[in-house]
Amino acid sequence: MGVLVRVLMLALTLMVATAGFASPTPVGFVDPVDTQAVSIDLTSPGLVWQREQVMPGLPDYFRLHFDNIAVPNGADFDVVVSDRNGRPVYSVASEELAKSGSFWTGRIAGSYALIEVRSKAAVAANLKLRFAEIGVQGEGLNLLSVIDINNQHDVFLTSVTQTPQLRSAARSVVMLSYVRDHQMYTCTGFLVGRDLVLTNQHCFDSKQVCDSVDVMFDYLTNVDGEAKTAEDQRCTKVEDSDPDLDFTLLRVTGFPGDRWGTLSFAQAPPTPHAHLVVIQHPHGGPKRVAIIACRLGANSLPGRVPGKKPDFGHTCDTEDGSSGSPVLDSQYHVVGLHHLGFAEGVVTNEVGRQNRALWGALVKARVASAAQ
């Protein structure tokens, strides 16, 4: 099936999607590439293999998946992916590939990639790998959970967001791009430890999906209107997950909390109708913040388990892809984990036009335990 046809089908899926706990809305699809692995001679150092990938149509982003990787003993090489301008956008070393046996690249903007294997030393052996899949992402189309008008703002580009406290808090919020059931998805997450990211369980909770996660830091719209990412890391482990409370705690590479900072949990719940802030990556796009008309609603709402009320309501504008966003108080401490919005015309919850978040106090101790 052609890429353009797949994009149109995805758009139709997004247009009819509604909010809920169970499944995020896909933002793209995954197609197979090769059925057999290639054998790459490593007997000479330098560039030993390359392949161009040109995507038809105009995708927003795409990602590449390699598997069936067999690294010979003594091999020392890098797999490097570059964009059309020759700029390396992703690199993975032989040592890591020998441990994992497969990898997904981070997101590549545009429609072109050059994949190269660069050997650092001669080894009388062959590397085997398969170019297995391509994941293609298109722009999300479904607007959910907006209370009146859409009061989200690009982080750092409006006067609303020009405060040092908000800038600092926003640094810890990440976008998660991942693959599940042959489709591309995005959610939001945030750093709660040196290498710990908190998000929703309904986004994912398995090691298989963890292996596909691209953790994107400071994915922002700059002053020229371009969307840029400052750093990418990968998920290495699902440290904790709870379907009843709808949270997943990820262990990630690179100790990014040392550079980007972490968010801490509030010591006390906010007062009734308190002002709140939600920093998020709606539709898998650049970071945005809901700060206007963003307040605490009902303080005791049902969650996933009948008879229990671990959630609270809020009036902060969110959209698809906002799942896993931190709900912050006026001091930018975490009071909740956003995980449910309402769809216009499909309002079924008991308090009407309110979005839903899990109280942060219910996960605080488990995060602290994982961070030790």
Q: What is the pLDDT of residues 195-239, one digit of tens each?
A: 999 999 999 889 889 999 999 998 887 666 667 778 999 999 999
What is the span of the domain harbouring residue 172?
1-27+142-372
248 and 101 in one domain? no
pLDDT at 2 over 80: no
pLDDT at 17 over 90: no
CA distance 215 to 234: 6
Per-residue pLDDT of 180-206, as tens digits, reads 988 999 999 999 999 999 999 999 889
pLDDT for the residue 138: 67
CA distance 315 to 290: 9
CA distance 114 to 79: 10
Tokens read off for 345? 């015309």
258 and 164 in one domain? yes
Positive/negative CA dihedral, 114, 115, 119, 120:
positive
Domain boundary among 122, 137, 152: 137
Domain boundary among 102, 137, 172: 137
Q: Which of 168, 239, 230 is nearest to 197 (CA)?
A: 239
Domain total in the chain: 2
CATH number at residue 12: 2.40.10.120
CATH number at residue 40: 2.60.120.380
Domain boundary among 109, 137, 165: 137
Name the more confident of 166 and 344: 166
Predicted TM-score (pTM) of this structure: 0.85
Report residue 159's pLDDT band, with 50, 70 and 90 as the boundaries.
Answer: very low
Calculate Rg over the CA atoms of the chain: 21
Report residue 139's pLDDT band, with 50, 70 and 90 as the boundaries.
Answer: low
Positive/negative CA dihedral, 290, 294, 295, 296:
negative
